[in-house]
Amino acid sequence: MERKTQTLWSALALSLLLSAPAVAQHEHHHPQEPPAAPETPPEKQETTKPEDHSMHDMAGMEDHSGHEMRGMLGSYGMSREASGTAWQPESAPHTGIHTNRGPWDLMVHGFASLIYDDQDGPRGDQKTFSENMLMGMASRDLGPGRLGLRTMLSAEPATIGKEGYPLLLQTGETANGVDPLVDRQHPHDLFMELSATYSVPLGENGSGFVYLGLPGEPALGPATFMHRFSGMENPEAPLSHHWLDSTHVTFGVATLGWIRNGVKLEGSVFTGREPDENRYDIESPKMDSWSLRASWNPSPDWAFQVSRGHLKSPEQLEPETDLDRTTASAAYNRPLANGNWQTTLAWGRNDREGGEVTDALLLESAATCRRHTLFGRAERLENDELFGHGHEGEVPGDHPDKAEVFTVGKLSLGYIYDAFLGESWRGGIGLLGSLAVVPDDLKEEYGDNPVSWMAFLRVKI
């Protein structure tokens, strides 16, 4: 019965994406660079693509043209905005279906992947599952400012299941409220984001904004891996997810921010507890944690951020333990003649109360040219959760009841060929190979640097 339910949800997610209305392919623009020449009359423009004001890429376009979506937080192109209130390089492609209905600017974006996963070694496993996400956005001018609404849903509670999918060296959250997830990646909740923003102009090129989400994402860390171009095509969640951007699904967030040109300062109060094993509900907000973030986009191709947060009792299985998290990241985006290339470097630190201070480093990159996408990721992190935090279980070394810190890593490389290119969607087949890097102390548990792989079909709009 569970297998039939997972298949049904996978088919539903794919059909939702495939049945979306068509719009034309997008183009790349740099809004902060002055035009090289006066605007060419329409009758003399190149006609390699049909001209339709609803068809343009939102990558960094200014609102003065009358048909591009503005950012919900300030007077810049929406392509600068990623997950929550995080920024990415403004030259990044902002894919999806974009249209207007009266005063409303609307966008729909999503993907669904059917994946076969084979993780090697003594602690490996195999599974077939679907990753998926569907996001809708709406914004309009209202009174002196701009109102923005966003919803993000996932069928992963059914298409992946409570126990997640096999992923060597991954840790975080719980499968059933009793056992921690180790060497597995948890599914996302059905409700990933239900949020509203309101921004008002403050002088020339400035704005102030408020963001409310249940769930939502606080001002902590870089844009989450599902929304940054350098990471979104990789079907594996980063091992560093719980050092960088695990708060992207938080049940209760309130953020206040200030923007001027390419600088953004913001602070959040939010619920520190990570989502529990009940993936279909909306949990009660506690608003017991805080974070601060400074972001700087000096040009359309660059995005930098540093952030600091205090998380109250983030782990369900360790309710008395708080955590301080610090992150820093840099993202570089380069539009190509027929595609895009983006690279992200990020560092995160978790300082667990009464425990160890652990660091994680991530470098990832993805390049797309026409039908071809090549992506890769390298990670190195200090993980103290591979054998639990005081949970029962055998731990290498002399202290079976104490968590040990192990420095581990992973190298992954993947490729996608998009066999189908629609006006607003693309569908392809991909392959990913990963090498887990473990110290000698763990080779008896994991094997000698096991190699894993995933094969997948992916549809996205």
Query: What confidence tens digit (pLDDT) does each residue in 111-152 have?
Result: 999 999 999 999 999 999 999 999 999 999 999 999 999 999
* CA angle, 407 then 411 then 417, to 5°: 155
Q: Is residue 244 part of a domain?
A: yes
Query: What predicted TM-score, i.e. pTM, was given to this entire model?
Result: 0.83
Q: Is residue 43 part of a domain?
A: no
- Please determine, for residue 9, whether its predicted confidence score (pLDDT) is greater than 80: no
Q: Is residue 385 part of a domain?
A: yes
Structural domain for 412, as ranges: 2-33+51-460
* Neighbouring residues of 333: CB distance < 8 A, sequence distance ≥ 6: 88, 89, 91, 92, 229, 300, 301, 302, 303, 340, 341, 342
- Please determine, for residue 212, whether its predicted confidence score (pLDDT) is greater than 90: yes
pLDDT (tens digit, 9 = 90+) per residue, 278-292?
A: 999 999 999 999 999
Q: Is residue 230 part of a domain?
A: yes
Percent of the chain with pLDDT over 90: 77
Which amino acid, residue 225?
Answer: F
CATH of the domain at 144: 2.40.160.10
Check if the beta carbon of residue 311 is closer than 8 Å to that of residue 324: yes
Q: Is residue 234 part of a domain?
A: yes
- Please determine, for residue 181, whether its predicted confidence score (pLDDT) is greater than 80: yes
Q: Is residue 164 part of a domain?
A: yes
Q: Is residue 312 part of a domain?
A: yes
Q: How confident is the model at residue 389 (pLDDT cuts 50, 70, 90)?
A: low
pLDDT (tens digit, 9 = 90+) per residue, 340-366?
A: 999 999 999 999 998 889 999 999 999
Rounding to the nearest 10 degrees, give the CA dihedral for residues 12, 18, 23, 24. 140
Q: Is residue 39 part of a domain?
A: no
Number of domains in the chain: 1
Which residue from 145, 91, 126 is spatially nearest to 450, judged by alpha carbons?
Answer: 126
Q: How many residues does the chain have?
A: 461
Over residues 203-232, the mean pLDDT reads 96
